[in-house]
């Protein structure tokens, strides 16, 4: 039962993170195109901190639950399928990309918006958008691998 809860936590972490990126990329961003550029950047300066808090919580939940299941239930990576190795690789790449996004372009974006430098903010949000799009693709692949695990043996 404990491991079922860990797997559920793992799944919920993925849903929050990947679902949030899907929403931001394919729903929120296109919907904001009706706003003036300044207003759009201010809106994202309010949205990103809230979403990124949940991403931090999700990625911690994903890492802790994932490694706990691998080592606690399966006894290590020698005893899991190739899909788990791929999921770990793509997940760690996603964590690295998110940490880079958070500590570099997002911080610069926040500073630019606070200083009303919307040209710089636009540059940084373009970088953020690119990283989120890459992470979305990786997250969808990783989620599909996890869902299809029964076919991997």
Q: Which pLDDT belongs to residue 140?
A: 97
Please compute the mean of the pLDDT values over residues 49-76 and round it to a whole number.
97
Total number of domains constituting the chain: 1
Q: How confident is the model at residue 147 (pLDDT cuts 50, 70, 90)?
A: confident
Q: Which pLDDT belongs to residue 152?
A: 58
| 8: its two tokens | 């559920």
Q: Given the structure tokens 């500073």, which residue do they identify?
A: 111
Would you say residue 102 has pLDDT above 70? yes
What's the domain range around 62?
Answer: 2-151
Nearest CA to 19 out of 128, 150, 102, 132 is that of: 132
Return the DSSP state at 76. Answer: S
Q: Which pLDDT belongs to residue 122?
A: 97
Cα separation, 38 vs 32, in Å, equals 11
Would you say residue 151 has pLDDT above 90? no
Would you say residue 15 has pLDDT above 60? yes
């Amino acid at each position: 039962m404990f491991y079922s809860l860990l797997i559920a936590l793992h799944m919920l972490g993925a849903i929050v993170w990947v679902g949030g990126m899907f929403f931001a990329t394919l729903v929120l961003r296109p919907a904001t195109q009706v706003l003036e550029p300044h207003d759009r950047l201010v809106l994202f300066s309010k949205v990103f901190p809230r979403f990124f808090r949940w991403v931090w919580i999700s990625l911690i939940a994903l890492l802790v639950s994932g490694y706990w299941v691998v080592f606690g239930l399966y006894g290590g990576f020698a005893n899991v399928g190739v899909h788990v190795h791929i999921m770990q690789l793509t997940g760690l790449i996603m964590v690295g990309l998110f940490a880079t996004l958070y500590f570099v372009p997002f911080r610069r974006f926040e500073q630019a918006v606070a200083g009303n430098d919307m040209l710089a903010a636009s540059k940084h949000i373009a970088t953020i958008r690119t990283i989120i799009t890459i992470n979305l693709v990786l997250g969808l692949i990783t989620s599909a691998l996890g869902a299809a695990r029964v076919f991997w043996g």
